[in-house]
A and B are shown apart, each in its own frame.
Chain A
Amino acid sequence: DSGVTQTPKHLITATGQRVTLRCSPRSGDLSVYWYQQSLDQGLQFLIQYYNGEERAKGNILERFSAQQFPDLHSELNLSSLELGDSALYFCASSVGTSGTQETQYFGPGTRLLVL
């Protein structure tokens, strides 16, 4: 158990809908990262927040957004869902920002299925 929690574990929804994925980082970690893992794209970095502020953006679609709240939990919002958004969404956390001796610890993931 990494100490990173994600809810829900599974999510089934329809195209065009909007969903929210939630992540709670390890105690003491200020950075939260979101990743998408799919069969064809592998593990793709989406976005990072550090202490409530967006720190880095990766391959995140405009239909997706995220935020980190004062209690440091983070939410990833996916809207206008398409079939191709079906994937495993992982959250990871670390103490601070990348560029120092950081280690990311991953949560169990949320499996999203868009029908």
Chain B
Amino acid sequence: AQSVSQHNHHVILSEAASLELGCNYSYGGTVNLFWYVQYPGQHLQLLLKYFSGDPLVKGIKGFEAEFIKSKFSFNLRKPSVQWSDTAEYFCAVNARNYGQNFVFGPGTRLSVLP
């Protein structure tokens, strides 16, 4: 079965610091990859997604993620975080041709200090 791990449970950064959140998945086949963000008290919103092509994907709000197939990773990055980026970030994987649904990682809580 697929599984998704996220390296950090809670990350605390100061404004303008660079961010990298790790995501690894376990599935040997072709996958679709996603990052969702959940702001306090709100629902999950799609940040970015990778289906195929350029492994460096750009999303909303200055976020990007890089798919490294050999490492089964899909890390999320942002060069300079803002206080408004404080939220919980979820990595999700959907295996193509597997008939299984999205598997979400446990989430990483990001706190950005002003």
Contacts and interface: CB of A to CB of B under 8 A. Distances in A.
- Chain B's interface size range is 20 to 34
A105 B47 CA distance: 11
B90 A43 contact: yes
Contacts of A48: 101
A64 interface: no
- Chain A's interface size range is 20 to 34
Interface of B: 32, 34, 36, 42-46, 49, 51, 90, 92, 94-104, 106-107
19 contacts: A2-B45, A33-B102, A42-B106, A42-B107, A43-B44, A45-B102, A45-B104, A90-B43, A90-B44, A97-B99, A98-B98, A98-B102, A99-B95, A99-B100, A101-B32, A103-B46, A107-B43, A108-B43, A109-B43
Contacts of B90: 43
A33 B101 contact: yes
A98 B104 contact: no
B101 A58 contact: yes
A75 B102 CA distance: 20
For the complex of A and B, the 10 pairs showing the least CB-CB separation, nearest first, are A106-B44, A43-B104, A108-B43, A106-B43, A101-B51, A42-B106, A98-B101, A56-B101, A98-B94, A109-B43
Nearest to A48: B101
Nearest to B32: A101
B43 A99 contact: no
Given A56-B101, A99-B98, 17 more contacts: A42-B104, A42-B107, A45-B102, A45-B104, A58-B101, A92-B44, A97-B99, A98-B94, A98-B99, A98-B100, A98-B102, A99-B97, A99-B99, A101-B51, A103-B46, A103-B49, A104-B34
